[in-house]
Structure 1
Amino acid sequence: MTTMAEMLKYWVISRLTFWDLSIALLGLFISSCLYERLAKKGPMMWPVLGILPTIVFNRSDLHNWCTRALIKAGGTFHHRGMWMEGAYGIITADPSNVEYMLKTNFNNFPKGSYYKERFRDLLGDGIF
């Protein structure tokens, strides 16, 4: 014997259409964008696409945009690449952070596998 809750669950699932799911995903996308825009201090991180659209929108004035984004974020912000790409990191212009990473505690900040693969020929295991 099925309960009323099970029958209601089956009825709702059987009535879902492509448009219902599309509207739900669009709502999730919009709410994620709004949260990112209103709650975070750094540049816009798009769902799935990461920082890539923001960089493309500002490609003609990238250096000035990056400077404005660092000022708005207080000198440091997190970034991530596309969803399955695996690129992520921190951009900082705060002198105390830079000194801490390069001088005080250098061994605690190794390059990740993403950057090791791409820059091994140029940088090896060091920075310069």
Structure 2
Amino acid sequence: MMETEENLSTIIITLFIMLFSWIFIHRLKQRNSKGPKTWPFLGAAIEQLVNYDRMHDWMVEYLSQSRTVVVPMPFTTYTYVADPANVEHVLRTNFSNYPKGEVYHSYMEVLLGDGIFNAWGALRKTKEDS
């Protein structure tokens, strides 16, 4: 019985040290990063929640440091682009390399309908030609 408790304690301590080390190394790698600080599994959700009341100012602060900001979140990643050349690259020059997909379309359909900003593939080509 005593040996089982010692083994369990050793396993818990080892897991705690491994988790702490992983988080420490993850945060250490981000010291010079220009985007939001992230946490394993949570991404930038904590920082985004803290800055919820000033979300636009928070994003502008990052975009003033770097014209493209990647914000990892649980289950998804958002990319914000402020550089005109990059915006043109995504929306015009290499549009086909950045598919929106059905999920994006279903989320944005309420706001954008099937207009050119929410269209993809053949539907987009039809909108551009008209």
- TM-score scaled to structure 1, two decimals? 0.71
Task: Identify the residue that residue 78 of structure 1 maps to in structure 2.
Answer: 70
- State which of 15, 18, 21 in structure 1 corresponds to 2:15: 21
Deviation at 1:16, TM superposition (A): 3.4
* RCO comparison, higher one (Cα < 8 Å, 6+): 1
Q: Structure 2 stretches of 5 or more lacking a match?
A: 1-6, 119-130
Distance 1:21 1:58, change over 3 A: same
What letter corresponds to residue 19 of structure 1 in structure 2? I
- Mind listing any 5+ residue stretches in structure 1 that lack a counterpart? 1-12
Cα 1:75/1:25, change in 2 over 3 Å: same
1:25-40 correspondence to structure 2 within 5 Å: 25-36=19-30, 38-40=31-33
Distance change >3 Å, CA 45–CA 113, structure 1 → 2: farther
Partner of 2:62: 69
Name the count of aligned residue pairs.
111
Partner Cα separation in structure 2 for residue 125 and residue 47 of structure 1: 37
1:91-102 alignment to 2 at 5 Å?
91-102=80-91
RMSD: 2.4
User: Counterpart of 1:89 in 2: which secondary structure?
Assistant: strand
- What amino acid is aligned across from residue 47 of structure 1 in structure 2? P
State percent identity of aligned pairs: 30
Corresponding residue for residue 111 of structure 1: 100
| Structure 1 residue aligned with 2:117 | 127
SS of the residue corresponding to residue 71 of structure 2 reads strand
The 8 Å contact of residues 78 and 88 in structure 1, kept in 2 or not, is answered as yes
Paired amino acid for 1:94? D
